[in-house]
Amino acid sequence: MKQYITHHDWQIIEDDFHDEHNRISESIFSIGNGRMGQRANFEEQFSGDSLKGSYVAGVYYPDKTRVGWWKNGYPEYFAKVLNSCNWIGIDVLVNGKALDLAKCEIRHFKRVLDMQKGFLQRNFTVQMPTGEVLHVEATRFCSLVDDESGAIRYSISCDFSGELTLSPYLDFDVVNEDSNYDEKFWEEVQRAVGNGEGYLTAATRKTDFHVCTGMQFAINKNGSTIQLDPTLTEREKYIANTIKIPVQASDQVVLYKYAANLSSENHAKDKLVENCKQVLHRITEKGFDAMLKEQASAWAERWRDSDIIIEGDVAAQQGIRFNIFQLHQTYTGEDERLNIGPKGFTGEKYGGSTYWDTEAYCLPFYLSTADERVAKNLLVYRYKHLQKAIENAEKLGFHSGAALYPMVTMNGEECHNEWEITFEEIHRNGAIAYAIYNYINYTGDYKYLSEYGLEVLIGIARFWAQRANYSNAKKAYVILGVTGPNEYENNVNNNWYTNYTAKKCLEYTLLVLDSIKEHSAERYTAIIEKTRLIEFEEQELWRDIIANMYFPVDEERGIFLQQDGFLDKEIEPVSLLPEIDQPLCQNWSWDRILRSCYIKQADVLQGLYFYEDDFDETTHRNNFDFYEPLTVHESSLSPCVHVVLAAKLGYYDKAYELYLRTARLDLDDYNNDTEDGCHITSMAGTWMAVVQGFGGMRVRDDQIHLNPFIPKQWSAYAFKIRFRGSVLNIRVEQGKVKVIHESGLPVGIVLNGQKNELFEGDEWVL
């Protein structure tokens, strides 16, 4: 854990340059707009430790799966999130010597991520090794309004006389650090450099995505525009303009750099450069200040509906806002082909963009804070990949329309190549089915089921029906050889969570089939024909599995067993583990981890979280009391689910402790891995922790249920939820809850067990 970020309500602040944590800061201070993203690398040269990262949504490279012992069914490739053109670069020379923070004396340094207005700013004063002193203020953002572009204002106040040389450039000659084979992934397609502008187009090897990055810039000195007479440099995958400016002490030179990243995912390849020019002309004409103003308004709009206010605890406030901010930077819901990568645009680790994280953790955030179509887009994404999921299952020997969705994907194909995950972590199918249920339960959009949802459910149900087998020994259906959400166990039999989620999916599919048959007979017939569902036979099998699924339990302790034989392990709580051993994944051999009782993330408890109403409070309590003390929370996805459960059980201190861990996971680098990028998908879990955990928000019987508690460290907190066309504002103070119906249709609310119906403008205080 590292605590060098200054606490502030709306800003993330690094006072002083922590070069030893530079990679962590580069992740934390990342900016993005759903289409492109940028780590907080410096504009000027930096020879210190750094992970360069400029990312363009949807662009990846299929790195060949290479393993010694090839196993049939392995995916051909592992998707790499590609580092793309460096569009932020500005080389700065002071009297011919490069400005490089690793080589100067830093007298002052401050880095601020302004989450309210959506920009990153760096201020520093340095003395060059040759004695010159200069002060720099660099401000940049990825525009939410013009979402293929970014802008930089790089302002230098000189405390020296001589010559300042500025070289804004574009560089496609970049590498991926997470590249196993030191390969480069981009080939130049074309380049053009002119006075004050330049364009570079490159194509990815194999996937042939084309990206055109363009720049335009302007410079002024002491408020007057400088007529540019740059030296043009070009070489393969690189273009630059170099301008030499004579300066005297107290001169101020400001460079405005505008950049655009256009990809062939959104533009015809032969139109990329032309369209890139248009985007650049448009934004340059607007100018930096107008763009920044628009940016602040666009962010104000995002915050209006999704902000969470926490009073009396700045660390907690900063944490939740940081999480919400990064989520908005990663996914806007504008494009149904995109999804939410675990690192978003903040790092290259975890190739691929879509994991079960989206359905299990992210969907609730978008359901409550954005227009309904955003959550729907996330579901339609999987609908569009159904055929690929069927092919994926076929590769593993399944048939007749059984669908196994990939554990990791960019385009519907599996692209993760560890067998224990690809072949065994089949519970992801359960989360996709659960998300359909969750979406319908929240929105009441039943049409979605007949248009899209049912086909997906049938594919997944068929998979479960084929993946389970009847055990004569147990006289029940079993699911063998799986990895549950707890990835610190592989190839186990009867992971309780997997068996339960399979059963629930089969039940829900049958329910939906019956309902569509009753309410929309024509559509029902069309779906039966399309999926070739053998009505009686298949459904009979599903019913039999539901009735006879095997679930490992320990009657004495009143708990579900994570898997067969779990109690054979030496059971010792995490509290007895020496600190030095943690995180286990960085200190223990994999073999030792697999044999231990330690749990990476919610597993049985994930099932209790999803299917809460199936179980009584004692069952919740027994399982929480048994499993949480064994859990090391080494997946970022872990603490949030535990917050929701702990809050429900009245374990308020635990809930608060785990809340801080999820909310400040990256800000305080809890898991010692923020340098690789931020944990974007778990950030939605942080939102869940406040709204579902502390707020106790649930949707049951078409009504909002609230059961709030407030941590003693807070004086108040407030959040908004969108629900079926209306917006509710919930404020919780010590001893008081206020619900305001801000706009929209009447909503049924159950607050601490009391029922009410609220109309627009109503205020209800309890």
Please give the Cα distance from 432 to 265 (Å, whole number): 26
Tallying the residues shown for the chain, one arrives at: 766
Q: How far is the CB of 274 from ligand BGC (least distance, A)?
A: 39
Secondary element (H or E) of residue 468: none
Cβ distance to ligand BGC smaller for residue 215 or 585: 585
From the number of C-beta atoms within 10 Å of its C-beta (0-12, 13-18, 19+), residue 708 rates as buried
Does the footprint of ligand BGC cover residue 485 (CB under 6 A)? yes
Please select the residue that binds ligand BGC; options are 635, 662, 674, 686, rule is CB under 6 A.
Answer: 635
Does the footprint of ligand BGC cover residue 606 (CB under 6 A)? no
Does the footprint of ligand BGC cover residue 671 (CB under 6 A)? no
Q: How far is the CB of 448 from ligand BGC (least distance, A)?
A: 25
Query: Tell me, what DSSP letter sits at residue 178?
Result: T
Residues 297-356 that bind ligand BGC (CB under 6 A): 342, 350, 355-356
- In sequence order, what are the residues at sequence separation of 6 or more whose Cβ sits closer than 8 angstroms to the Cβ of residue 166? 90, 91, 92, 93, 219, 242, 243, 245, 253, 255
Cβ distance to ligand BGC smaller for residue 639 or 695: 639
CB 34 within 8 A of CB 334: yes
Please give the Cα distance from 241 to 229 (Å, whole number): 9
Does the footprint of ligand BGC cover residue 610 (CB under 6 A)? no
- Tokens 């450039």 correspond to 169
Cβ distance to ligand BGC smaller for residue 258 or 356: 356
Query: Using a CB cutoff of 8 Å and minimum separation of 24, what contacts does 719-722 make?
Result: 719/307, 719/308, 719/309, 719/690, 719/691, 719/695, 720/305, 720/306, 720/307, 720/369, 721/368, 721/369, 721/691, 721/697, 722/305, 722/367, 722/368, 722/369, 722/370, 722/371, 722/372
- Looking at beta carbons, which residue is closest to ligand BGC? 342
Q: How far is the CB of 349 from ligand BGC (least distance, A)?
A: 9
State the chain's maximal CA–CA distance in angstroms: 89
Does the footprint of ligand BGC cover residue 601 (CB under 6 A)? yes
Structure tokens, 337: 């082909």
Structure tokens, 434: 């659960």
Q: How far is the CB of 462 from ligand BGC (least distance, A)?
A: 24
Secondary element (H or E) of residue 255: strand 252-263
Strands 747-751 and 703-706: parallel
Q: How far is the CB of 408 from ligand BGC (least distance, A)?
A: 8
User: Binding pattern to ligand BGC, positions 678-717, x when CB under 6 A?
Assistant: ---x------------------------------------
Please give the Cα distance from 606 to 531 (Å, whole number): 31
CB 459 within 8 A of CB 403: yes
Please give the Cα distance from 409 to 418 (Å, whole number): 14
Cβ distance to ligand BGC smaller for residue 26 or 676: 676
Q: How far is the CB of 488 from ligand BGC (least distance, A)?
A: 9
User: Binding pattern to ligand BGC, positions 494-513, x when CB under 6 A?
Assistant: --------------------
Q: How far is the CB of 600 from ligand BGC (least distance, A)?
A: 6
Cβ distance to ligand BGC smaller for residue 146 or 603: 603
Q: How far is the CB of 134 from ligand BGC (least distance, A)?
A: 42
Number of residues that bind ligand BGC (CB under 6 A): 12
Cβ distance to ligand BGC smaller for residue 156 or 599: 599
Residues annotated as catalytic are 487
- Residue type at 78? F
Q: How far is the CB of 485 from ligand BGC (least distance, A)?
A: 6
Please select the residue that binds ligand BGC; options are 132, 487, 489, 628, rule is CB under 6 A.
Answer: 487
Cβ distance to ligand BGC smaller for residue 372 or 418: 418
Half-sphere exposure of 371 (CA within 13 A, CB side): 9
C-alpha distances out from residue 52 to 174, 236, 260, 322, 549, Å: 9, 19, 18, 22, 50
Cβ distance to ligand BGC smaller for residue 83 or 638: 638
Please give the Cα distance from 30 to 37 (Å, whole number): 7
C-alpha distances out from residue 461 to 406, 454, 466, Å: 15, 10, 9
Does the footprint of ligand BGC cover residue 357 (CB under 6 A)? yes
Q: How far is the CB of 241 from ligand BGC (least distance, A)?
A: 41
Cβ distance to ligand BGC smaller for residue 83 or 601: 601
Cβ distance to ligand BGC smaller for residue 356 or 659: 356
Please give the Cα distance from 173 to 186 (Å, whole number): 7
Does the footprint of ligand BGC cover residue 414 (CB under 6 A)? no
Cβ distance to ligand BGC smaller for residue 109 or 356: 356
Cβ distance to ligand BGC smaller for residue 639 or 711: 639
Reduced to 3 states (helix: H, G, I; strand: E, B; else coil), residue 411 is: coil
Please give the Cα distance from 117 to 102 (Å, whole number): 30
Q: How far is the CB of 585 from ligand BGC (least distance, A)?
A: 9
Does the footprint of ligand BGC cover residue 563 (CB under 6 A)? no
Structure tokens, 622: 């027994």
Please give the Cα distance from 62 to 271 (Å, whole number): 25
Q: How far is the CB of 343 from ligand BGC (least distance, A)?
A: 8
Structure tokens, 297: 């308004």
Q: What is the 3-state secondary structure (H, E, C) of 263-329?
A: ECCCCCHHHHHHHHHHHHHHHHHHCHHHHHHHHHHHHHHHHHHHCEEEECCHHHHHHHHHHHHHHHH
Q: Is the dihedral of CA 142, 146, 148, 153 positive or negative?
A: negative
Reduced to 3 states (helix: H, G, I; strand: E, B; else coil), residue 169 is: strand
Cβ distance to ligand BGC smaller for residue 396 or 421: 421
Does the footprint of ligand BGC cover residue 637 (CB under 6 A)? yes
- Tokens 């953002």 correspond to 141
Q: How far is the CB of 172 from ligand BGC (least distance, A)?
A: 29
Q: In what order do the strands lie in the sheet with 308-311?
A: 308-311, 716-723, 726-733, 736-743, 763-765
Angle between helices 652-663 and 680-688 (to 10 degrees): 150
Binding site for ligand BGC (CB under 6 A): 342, 350, 355-357, 485, 487, 600-601, 635, 637, 681
